[in-house]
Structure 1
Amino acid sequence: MIKHTREKQVKIVATGLALCMLAAPLSASAAESSVLMASGGVASVLETERTLEEYIQIAQDAQGASWGYTNIGVANVESGNLNVRAVSSTDGKLVGKLPKDAACEVVETVDDWAHIKSGEVEGYVSKEFLLTGPEARIRAMELVHTVATANTDGLNVRQEPNTTSEIVTQVGQGEEMEYVETGSDGWVKISIDGEDAYVSQDYVTVEEKLDTAITMTELLYGQGVSDVRVDLVEYAKQFIGNPYVWGGTSLTKGADCSGFVLSVFKKYGITLSHSSRAQANEGTKISASELKPGDLVFYGNGKGNINHVAIYIGGGQVIHASSPKTGIKISSYKYRTPVKCVRVIHD
């Protein structure tokens, strides 16, 4: 017979009850009876009442939540990403990746596959690694986060909440920023690559969102992109969703922005410093119009001091270790104003 610790027993009972509530809401008396039967008596209820209430509240909130989904699914992988394929076969063309804990609309299920839509990606994923139904909704309640989306182009991001404060950078229309809080002074506090800043409330839309799938940038041989550039970019994409760790250089356990870059390039025999500012001087400066997959894009504060680096992957996108909250992710290379572009692969 399997024995569980009191903490695990409570979680099992509470989670089970919460799932039941999503399928058919229970009255208070029915809920109490279920707990009494599952956890063994009044003493157990008294010991676990607070935790149980929290799970019940999650279930109740999840019942009315949709986030724009009719039949939500959530990627349930240990790490990395869930492959999205054009057809329901492991031989199918890869059309996107669904990062760990990202959400999707489940259109239908066919045998061991689910037909999904997520962001700009539509295709098939293995049902084995996808939460659906009540479990997906409860998980989504834990994962939903608030973003501030720029509703104008060239939005000024300032160091302090006033129009005379220094402009840290600018972001393009449609770019999402990590939301921190809204002040009473008409300014929204946001975070860009782990650093707090401010934008005018008039030029952003604040909303709750779930992460969605990532489109695959097609890097074709014979079109000015060398084999090593293609390979480097595809290698870097394997680590999307992995954690950001200040001072880290591990592609799996955690890296900061320059640590991520140096570790990716190390595989290809290129040695770089563990500093974005230093890396900016370890290659040949190029213009944004000359960017090729594998080139480096640098960002800085309002004074032009470099404090962040990303790898250009083609299609106007970069991959970078962004912040502790978002980890390694893909963004538009103009998600904030680039201050320098550098080439370290010479082919």
Structure 2
Amino acid sequence: MKNKLKLGQAAGVVAFAIIIGAVSMSSSSTVDARTSLKENRTVNAGVALGLTEAADATELLTAGVTSALTYYGADVSVAQNDSNVVTASAQGAQVGNTAQETEQANEASQTPTAAQTCGYTNLGMSVISSGNLNIRQEASTDSEVIGILTNHNACELLEDAGEWYKVTSGKVTGYVNKQYLVTGDEAEAIAEQEIKTVATVNTETLNVRAEKSTDAAVLSQVGNSEAFTVNSVADGWVEISVDDSVGYISQDYVTLAQALPTAKTIEQVKYGDGVSDVRASVVSYALQFVGNRYVWGGTSLEKGVDCSGFTMRILGKYGISLPHSSRAQPSYGTKISASEAKPGDLFFYGSGRSISHVAIYIGNGQIVHASNKRDGIKVSNAYYRNPICVARYLPD
């Protein structure tokens, strides 16, 4: 008499254990059908069975065997005859050594990667030692630059174009030189280090407070759709770094998500009529340093600089002498309204009327500034905080 269990074609991963009556077991061994794909073999009780990519392989197992089988889309048959012999055969099967290993493998396969968590299906990560990686309109060094990637920025690979990849990153879609991107496991390893929790403001204006309380002092205000790296979340409050200050915003008015750093558009350098060549040059020069370090008290554009050191060095190249102090810099220019701002003007921020931060306006509602230790020199919305004042230094 023969009792046979037929397991049909699997749509996913299936694991099962066959446990036959207790007998004295010989020393445990492992059988791997990879060593002989079309061979019938008999093994003693107590074995841990491993079939991997078996092709018409049949194992004969004596009673007492526990066999953990994991297979993908394969037909697996198990039968017991009157001689207390179990036959397990598989076509294209992949089998784990133990049920515990199978369970661990299944759990690992279900854990999303950093790329999957952030919505990438074909992840690329930029790897550059300094400066920026240009994203171009076409796959040519003669083509227009439409965006920039800094080191360890993420992108979705859309197309392999010889020496170039067509990518999309942030709001930019274009071509990147292939030699500065890594893919596969190498990209995923970088992504695991770079992934961060980001809070995106989902209300028109949100107060940043000094403490986790609506009674605490307002340090500044941030605008709708502005995104900030999260330091911590507790008691309904999200701790963020706003430039060189730490503050708290209500969790009720932000969307929290895992994200990887992405490209910045440089559409802002496409000025309209009436912008002088010197202003265009100031912005172009300042954008070269996006991604470089923030260092409090620093004045080196390459090795590290703070907010006022950044504006001092950038405008200094064009003959404008400024002190190394965001509080003092407004008095060296002419105050104007924010609506009158042109590329090269300076935006000043702070709490109340006390100035603590400065940035360079680059057009189209954008600024470039040395933000904080975490973000370094970056491009932001000019109204990510309410500016206290705007000052002009360059001639028209």
Check conservation: 1:285, 1:340, Cα contact below 8 A.
Answer: yes
Q: Percent identity over the alignment?
A: 50
68, 90, 94: which is aligned to 2:141?
90
Counterpart residue number, 1:47: none
CA distance in 1, matches of 2:369, 2:182: 27
Counterpart residue number, 1:203: 253
Say yes or no: does 1:178 pair with 2:229.
yes
Change in Cα spacing, 1:342 to 1:64, as seen in structure 2 (3 Å) is: closer
Counterpart residue number, 1:133: 184
CA RMSD of aligned residues (A): 2.1
Q: CA deviation at 1:326?
A: 0.4
CA distance in 2, matches of 1:265, 1:278: 15
Change in Cα spacing, 1:153 to 1:100, as seen in structure 2 (3 Å) is: same
Say yes or no: does 1:117 pair with 2:168.
yes
**Counterparts of 1:142-291 in structure 2 under 5 Å?**
142-184=193-235, 186-219=236-269, 223-291=273-341
Counterpart residue number, 1:342: 391
- Paired AA for residue 142 in structure 1: Q
- Paired AA for residue 364 in structure 2: G
Name the structure with the higher strand share.
2
Structure 1's unaligned 5+ residue stretches are 1-26, 30-56
321, 334, 342: which is aligned to 2:370?
321
CA distance in 1, matches of 2:219, 2:152: 31
Name the structure with the higher helix share.
1
- Structure having the higher Rg: 2
Q: CA deviation at 1:62?
A: 3.6
- Between Structure 1 and Structure 2, how many residues are aligned? 292
Check conservation: 1:115, 1:123, Cα contact below 8 A.
Answer: yes
Q: CA deviation at 1:343?
A: 0.3
- Paired AA for residue 263 in structure 2: A
TM-score by length of 1: 0.80
Q: CA deviation at 1:141?
A: 0.5
Check conservation: 1:217, 1:314, Cα contact below 8 A.
Answer: no
CA distance in 1, matches of 2:286, 2:346: 13
CA distance in 2, matches of 1:77, 1:64: 20
- Paired AA for residue 316 in structure 1: G
Q: Deviations over 1:246-276 (max 9, x none)?
A: 1111111110000011111111111100000
SS in 1 for 2:173: strand
- Paired AA for residue 111 in structure 1: G
CA distance in 2, matches of 1:293, 1:93: 20
Check conservation: 2:222, 2:386, Cα contact below 8 A.
Answer: yes
Say yes or no: does 1:100 pair with 2:151.
yes
Q: Deviations over 1:48-79 (max 9, x none)?
A: xxxxxxxxx9xx77477441111011111101
CA distance in 2, matches of 1:195, 1:98: 26
SS in 2 for 1:281: helix
CA distance in 2, matches of 1:282, 1:158: 30
Structure 2's unaligned 5+ residue stretches are 1-95, 99-107
